[in-house]
Structure formats: structure tokens, C-alpha cells
């Protein structure tokens, strides 16, 4: 921006199924528009037309946790603890402190952003679900999230 403020822009790509892009877009706006927590990236606004869907977020200036771990395997325990605590506090807020609990459904190293002081921010709420939504039961029975990992079943 002219005043030097930076934003992060997330562009949602069309997958061939217009409804799918709209669902992720609407879901992320609905969920992110109502929550504020120090360990969750802030949605500042959105732009949409027939061919383009953009989400505007506060800029987190460092990297994500996966990039940090790939480039620096010798992190001291204090930084590791700070990242783990920030991530846990963000998840605890979603599960306990929101008026309606939110399931992220895609927590992974790529979706934990880190600022220059290694504060952790949960990001990418495209697969998230409100526990009181009409499609919650259907959503929790579907496999969602990243390839290569599936949570253990009971």
C-alpha cells in the first residue's frame, strides 16, 4: 500500500468445478470474518468477480513451519516450544473459545505461518467447518486435508 503496509493475497484457483471454488471462498470468509486471535492469521477483506476470487490477509513476514524445519534442523528448544505453544493456543481458541467451535481440518506445517519473532499463526481455513453448520455431519465423515496424512481412527 502507499503507506508501506503489506498484505498477503490468496488467490483461489478454479478447479473446473465452479461450486467448489465458491464453497472454499465462502467458507473461509464466513469463518475467518468472525474470529480474532493472536495466533490466527487475520482476514482483512476479500474481492470477487466472475473470474477471480481473492482473500486479503495480514502479512506474516517470515515463512511457514515446513520451510523453517527444512532449512534449519537445529532449532533451539525455546523456539520449538514457542511455535508449539502458539499453534496450540490457536487451536484451543478454535475448539473451546469460539462461540461455535471450528474444526480446521488441515493443520500441517505448511499452514502454520511464522513471523520474524517465531510467533505462530494458523492459516488456510478453506477446509474448516463450523460445528453447528448444516453440513457438519457430512463434512466430518469425508476425508479432507492433505495427501499423505490421515488421522488415526478409533
Q: Which residues are catalytic?
A: 106
Q: Which three cell numbers stand for residue 20?
A: 467448489
Q: Please, is 109 exposed, middle or buried when counting C-beta atoms within 10 Å of its C-beta (0-12, 13-18, 19+)? A: middle
| Structural Rg of the chain based on CA atoms | 16
Q: Are 115 and 60 in contact (CB under 8 A)?
A: yes
CB 100 within 8 A of CB 132: yes
Round to whole Å and give the CA distance between 44 and 19. Answer: 23
Amino acid at each position: 500500500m502507499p503507506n508501506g503496509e503489506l498484505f498477503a493475497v490468496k488467490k483461489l484457483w478454479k478447479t473446473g468445478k465452479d461450486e467448489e471454488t465458491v464453497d472454499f471462498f465462502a467458507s473461509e470468509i464466513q469463518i475467518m470474518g468472525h474470529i480474532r486471535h493472536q495466533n490466527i492469521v487475520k482476514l482483512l477483506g476479500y474481492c470477487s468477480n466472475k473470474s477471480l476470487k481473492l482473500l486479503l490477509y495480514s502479512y506474516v513476514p517470515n515463512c511457514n513451519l515446513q520451510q523453517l524445519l527444512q532449512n534449519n534442523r537445529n532449532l533451539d528448544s525455546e523456539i520449538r516450544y514457542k511455535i508449539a505453544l502458539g499453534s496450540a493456543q490457536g487451536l484451543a481458541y478454535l475448539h473451546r473459545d469460539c462461540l461455535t467451535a471450528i474444526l480446521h481440518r488441515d493443520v500441517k506445517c505448511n499452514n502454520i505461518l511464522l513471523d520474524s519473532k517465531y510467533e505462530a499463526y494458523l492459516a488456510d481455513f478453506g477446509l474448516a467447518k463450523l460445528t453447528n453448520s448444516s453440513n457438519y455431519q457430512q463434512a466430518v465423515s469425508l476425508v479432507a486435508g492433505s495427501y499423505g496424512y490421515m488421522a488415526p481412527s478409533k
